[in-house]
Structure 1
Amino acid sequence: MKLVKQAFVFVVLLGVAVTACNRKGKAGQEEESNVKIVKGLYSFGPEMKSFTMCDDGREYWVADSVKNLELSYSNLNFEKPYEPVYVELEGYFAKSDTSVVSADFDSTLVVTKVLKISKEIPDGPCAQ
């Protein structure tokens, strides 16, 4: 009887573990399916990484998951931080972690790919 109880507990725990793993996998798939191409202005400095959408002017915190955006920005050799640049990015939007991100941003743009970065800001809605 003791062996049956142990086997039952093992099966239940295994089921819980499999379910937990599948939920995490589905969340990752949801994020990947929500990947969008966005165009806007990116500013980077010691205390802030922000993206302002050209279309509607909404501002987002930026998480550079590929670590390529910050490097590309630094390679433009600005004399001072927070100079805006025009970017075209591939990424998805996620709820901001309030322990890491300023309270000014309720959403975070998670960058998965840098398509374009330029000091030249095109005419139109992105021009300041």
Structure 2
Amino acid sequence: MKLFKQATVFVMLLGVAVTACNRTEKSVEGKSNIKTVKGLYTFGPEMKSFTLCEDGREYWVADSVKNLELSYSNLNFEKPYEPVYVELQGYFAKSDTATVSSDFDSTLVVTKVIKMTKDIPDGPCSQ
């Protein structure tokens, strides 16, 4: 009976150790996908979009840090949907079709707002 209890405790501890190791691998894997991107962010009641300066591709935006929308609101626009230049850190994920417009097949999940300005620089981001 004592041997059975020891074996059970050992199996449980082994399971906890394996689970802890898997979580570490997933978090490192997620961090490796994080990129710094530059583009135009547009926000309004039914739209959160990001247009990449490099090639003009458009993405739905998920604000995981809850700072992007606040920064946009602090710019005090009179009308919604005014584009701003942003530099963000985040990663790209497949869009959930139940919550995102069918116009977007990918979502930019923002993990950090580096820069946001009304001044759109000349070059590929200028409209």
- TM-score range relative to shorter protein: 0.7 to 0.9
Amino acid of the residue matched to residue 30 of structure 2? E
1:106 is aligned to 2:105: yes
Relative to the length of structure 2, the TM-score reads 0.83
TM-score w.r.t. structure 1 length?
0.82
Tell me the amino acid that sits aligned with residue 90 of structure 2: G
The corresponding residue for 1:26 is 25
Deviation per residue, 1:63-121 (Å, 9 max, x gap)? 11111110000000111111000000011111111111111111111111111000000
The amino acid of 1:34's aligned partner reads N
**How many residues in Structure 1 have an aligned counterpart in Structure 2?**
127
1:11 CA displacement: 8.2
How big is the alpha-carbon RMSD for the aligned residues of Structure 1 and Structure 2? Answer: 2.1
Gap runs ≥5 in structure 1:
none
- Corresponding position: 1:75 with 2:77: no
What percent of counterpart residues are identical?
Answer: 69
CA distance in 2, matches of 1:21, 1:101: 33
Offset of residue 19 of structure 1 = 5.9
- Which sections of structure 2, spanning at least 5 residues, go unmatched? none
Shift of 1:13: 8.5
